[in-house]
Structure 1
């Protein structure tokens, strides 16, 4: 790295803005919570729309594909928008796109159109990409650089809080607890069958209308509240980071790879959690949703515990330990029987909790002018959440709806995270 381009963090128009970072940080934390709600409601939507739209496992994972493929396609434009508009305007645009996608759930449900649901989810994904591309680096640089990983983990803890709340809301307002076998559906009259599908689909309308309204209100608040615009400035002048040039940082490249597999693993675990609890644990749909909420609680506790532990343990070491435990828990999920399988998945919630923000912070550490484009690469890598669950659903279908065999995919993913924690995070000094 060129030593003449080391970054200093400056706030536009206010060199003493360090004292004013608390309110901006709180507002940014609210974004972590909101996109956490979106992602964790997807874990409810997958089994729900599988019923409402009469889908197989592979088709149901298109919910994940629509959202996370949007991350892939939108990552570069989001980075360009961030560079041109700045953090605040990018966050507002992300909130409004997110809201528009949420409102599209109404016509999708009214017409029982899976394609419309997927379009709505794709638009939500575009909004989330803008939010994450801007909010993750903003939280990381909003204060003392030495505490960037801890600060990002603290913000991400509220993303984890959503992982606990979303399944509760989904279990109460979206999941009906009703399910029919193919034989039972075939025995129904066409009118009764269509009414059943429409009734199931309609359950999503109220939660997503409410979410859309909240998003618009928060966008208005962001518009009227002052946020310091954080810039990375080099000693020689303005930041000159470039998208492809950012990849000259070897540890950033490994972070992108690790993030691809981590996000894929997390989405795989949560997308099939309810089906695993039903098939492996013998629980009904509502009980399975309550266990998903417990998973979310453990995820949240893991985030807060991880933030505390990072005061005493280096981030790469903690990441390595958590990755090893995650591999072992995957083995229990694959080879175990009964409720222990579900307990293993709950444990994964705790040990996955710090992975995304820790990989992110380690990936952008020391890259100076390339922080914004580096952030775009790390957000683009979230496409793992589109590709790997689709592969998992395909594997499950190939093995006669055996959910457990599908968990070999997240196991392999955690091995890549493990490598990053051991070696990939290291900055190559020139």
Structure 2
């Protein structure tokens, strides 16, 4: 079996091209499946008649799988190897996609949540295996650049997912707003909800077929294994908790994914609360801004800015955008009119525009944190990756905090106050946390 050695300072670009292509395909899958949730949340809110807090259990069920399954999956990877582990992760995702059929047929929210948990479990295996590949396949100084390229692919899928969801699921549905459905009589309302629910079946069958083909693609590809045995920075370390910069990095991932999911998955709810006509596709706006951020990362790191500087800039920009969310007009479309109104793309209220711009603000966090946190782990890289993946639980917990604040205050925009805690910690990690090598 071919392998990638991490003991050399650099690797041959030509030999690493195909592995990067394969990993790029997987990152596209991450993005497509993950950011489909942004459209699914307001959709299920209608089908299952949920409040904001209940609707955001979608993100909880999906992202909590990363916490529950991360370390078991790292042990599995030690036994199967990274390549076979990726194929297994895709197979688990096939099962999750197929579970949407009984979920749609029954309309039971718990079945939807179970399907999302299984999908998240499959993604946990893929994420635990693929992120170390991107970091270790070349020089660590340019790791953030490679992760930014993967992020471009990931977020491009995030742009497409809400659009395809709207086109395939909601096309021809007529008026599917909560207000319209609530105005129908009991029989008409039940029929409309059944129609919406059944519309999910064909797209998720298509997803299951595509994932099945990818299982064979990865299984029979020439994707090499990683060799991570003996280059640990601290030979006296007994486990991953001996590396403070990695543990603190996992906390940074917790807060980053929390605010990333809030920006991507609640923008639809916020737009729905403001009666924005195209609320089901608003996640695409956040994803476009994230794509712009990843372009900046791919072209500027490390040539013009360091990984640490990218992290600091992201934290500060995020706080400024949150101020915009809380203070900007919910009626004026001035900002979006200037930025893209001339293109014919639908404009949105200024406050919602600042939610979308959070995508640009924090786009560089993921590519900056991973190489900083995995630096010097050597044989503990798999454990470190699993710990970082556990940090993705922020996407499960922090949106619930958002939902609870929005539900209690009856003011959706106030939920974004959670973001100040997230960006505050990222600022700390960029300044101090990533440098710690002892407790």
TM-score (norm 1): 0.90
Distance 1:240 1:36 in 2: 37
Distance 1:355 1:16 in 2: 25
Which range moved further: 85-94 or 328-337?
Answer: 328-337
The answer to whether the 8 Å contact 1:98/1:126 transfers is yes
Aligned residue for 2:108? 113
Structure 1 residues 429, 194: CA separation in 2 closer, same or farther (over 3 Å shift)? Answer: closer
Aligned residue for 2:364? 354
Distance 2:75 2:236 in 1: 12
Tell me if 1:185 matches 2:177: no
Aligned-pair CA distance for 1:317: 0.7
Aligned-pair CA distance for 1:289: 3.6
Which range moved further: 193-202 or 15-24?
Answer: 15-24
Distance 1:158 1:107 in 2: 31
The answer to whether the 8 Å contact 1:8/1:234 transfers is no
Structure 1 residues 29, 241: CA separation in 2 closer, same or farther (over 3 Å shift)? Answer: farther
Aligned residue for 2:218? 222
Distance 1:278 1:309 in 2: 36
Which range moved further: 22-31 or 331-340?
Answer: 331-340
Distance 1:187 1:348 in 2: 37
Aligned-pair CA distance for 1:17: 7.3
Mapping of 1:287-302 within 5 angstroms?
287-302=278-293
Aligned residue for 2:346? none
Aligned-pair CA distance for 1:16: 8.6
Select which of 295, 300, 304 maps to 1:304: 295
Distance 1:406 1:79 in 2: 34
The answer to whether the 8 Å contact 1:163/1:299 transfers is no
Task: Name the SS for the 1:230 alignment partner.
Answer: strand
Distance 2:141 2:324 in 1: 37
Tell me if 1:278 matches 2:272: yes
Select which of 395, 418, 422 maps to 1:409: 418
Deviations 1:294-315 (A, max 9, x none): 3211211211211211121111
Mapping of 1:374-385 within 5 angstroms?
374-385=384-395
Structure 1 residues 342, 186: CA separation in 2 closer, same or farther (over 3 Å shift)? Answer: closer
Structure 1 residues 17, 321: CA separation in 2 closer, same or farther (over 3 Å shift)? Answer: closer
Distance 1:319 1:75 in 2: 25
Q: Please, which runs of 5 or more residues in structure 1 have no aligned partner?
A: 1-6
The answer to whether the 8 Å contact 1:240/1:370 transfers is no
Distance 1:386 1:429 in 2: 30
Aligned-pair CA distance for 1:252: 0.8
Distance 2:184 2:192 in 1: 13
TM-score (norm 2): 0.88
Distance 1:84 1:123 in 2: 21
The answer to whether the 8 Å contact 1:96/1:215 transfers is yes
Structure 1 residues 327, 153: CA separation in 2 closer, same or farther (over 3 Å shift)? Answer: same
Q: Please, which runs of 5 or more residues in structure 2 have no aligned partner?
A: 331-348
The answer to whether the 8 Å contact 2:231/2:376 transfers is no
CA RMSD across the alignment: 2.4
Equivalent residues, number? 412
Distance 1:154 1:355 in 2: 13
